[in-house]
Amino acid sequence: MSGVLLIEQALNGLQFGLMLFLLAAGLTLVFGVMDMINLAHGSLYMVGAFLAAWLVGLTGSFVLSVLGAVALTGMFGMALEAGLLRTLYARDHLSQVLATFALILILNDGVKMVFGTDLPLSAPAALAGPVELFPGFQYPAYRLLILGVGLALAVALYLLVQKTRMGALVRAGASNRPMATAMGVNIRALFTLVFGIGAALCAVAGALLGPLLAVQVGMGENILILAFVVIVIGGIGSIRGALVGSILVGCIDTLGRTGLQQVFREFLPPQWASAAGPAIASVAVYVFMAAVLAFRPQGLFPARS
């Protein structure tokens, strides 16, 4: 692989990883703090994307639409938590699986009823072209935006969790909930807020990835499972773990699929090489997770003391 190709693929992997982080961050907080398996997390990502696409149709402004989608999805998430999901905290994980699975069905069809099966969403015209990062290497401007937003949010989340009082409460709740409750923390409000933030982060990812992928019903299902893998690798309840985990997974997946394809092309017909490369790269992600579970079962940066 030439140097330029390697750099470009590394940037692609980083971009994918950062978007994955936005989903994983919300998921790890919900699972870590509220001990709830939420299969509908990917549906919030989908709702965010649809809202952004719809708002762009209304307002014509990409920036306003993304902000609007984030706000609306955050509020939707909080309403969902207060209205329904709160009753599931006390229930066993199996019931949570069933309930959130039901939620996936309801949201998939609900979105279809309101918006249709898919909506077009384009990158803003100003970012539709390439940027010359250094002579001989051009990279799409839009993907640079995604990288920028992803990094900024990662830093912001880190500061929020490590440096603010709210963040301290969240960390306390994640590492030892009974103690946190005993210390008088308003758990209910905290949970609602955490869920809302998670939903808002999903919306950012959905809105930003919409122009690259497609805004369609069911778009959250594939990325959801990767988010779960990331939080297991990183450590349930840990934002730092989610960040490291998602970048690792993003890079293994992106660099793996092209690297392996090139290797396979040496001795397999192109159709087989093209099928095997991405497949084995995906397998590698799961093998990596299994390895982490074998040697460091709590994840790379465990939240619990």
Query: Which residue's CB is nearer to another protein, number 160 or number 213?
Result: 213
> Among residues 280 and 300, whose Cβ is nearest to another protein?
280
Q: What one-character-per-residue DSSP string does 190-237 give?
A: HHHHHHHHHHHHHHHHHHHHTTTS-EETTTHHHHHHHHHHHHHHH-TT
Provide the minimum distance between the beta carbon of 70 and another protein in the complex, in angstroms, as a whole number: 22
In angstroms, what is the minimal distance from the CB of 164 to another protein?
26
Contact 4, 183 (CB under 8 A): no
Q: How far is the CB of 232 from another protein (least distance, A)?
A: 5
Contact criterion met (CB below 8 Å) for 240 and 301: yes
- CB-nearer residue toward another protein: 182 or 184: 182
Structure tokens at 140: 């799409």
CB of 265 to another protein, least distance (A): 9
Give me 19's structure tokens.
Answer: 């978007």
Q: How far is the CB of 165 from another protein (least distance, A)?
A: 26
Q: Which residue's CB is nearer to another protein, number 101 or number 183? A: 101
Query: CB–CB of 57/189 below 8 Å?
Result: no
Residue 23 · residue 77 · CB < 8 Å: no
3-state secondary structure string, 152-176?
Answer: HHHHHHHHHHHHCHHHHHHHHHHHC
Of residues 143 and 171, the one with the C-beta less far from another protein = 143
Cβ 52 to another protein shortest distance, Å: 16
Angle (deg, nearest 10), helices 62-83 and 187-209: 140
- What residues does 134 pair with on adjacent strands? 137
The least distance separating another protein from the CB of residue 77, rounded to whole angstroms, comes to: 17
d(CA 76, CA 285): 32
Please give the span between the terminal C-alpha atoms of the chain, in angstroms, as a whole number: 43
CB nearer to another protein: pick between 200 and 258: 258
- Smallest separation, CB 71 to another protein (Å): 25
Chain mean position to CA 70? 14
CB 254 within 8 A of CB 12: yes
Token pair recorded at residue 217:
């019903």
Residue 68 or 140 having the CB closest to another protein: 140
Question: Nearer to another protein by C-beta: 167 or 218?
Answer: 218
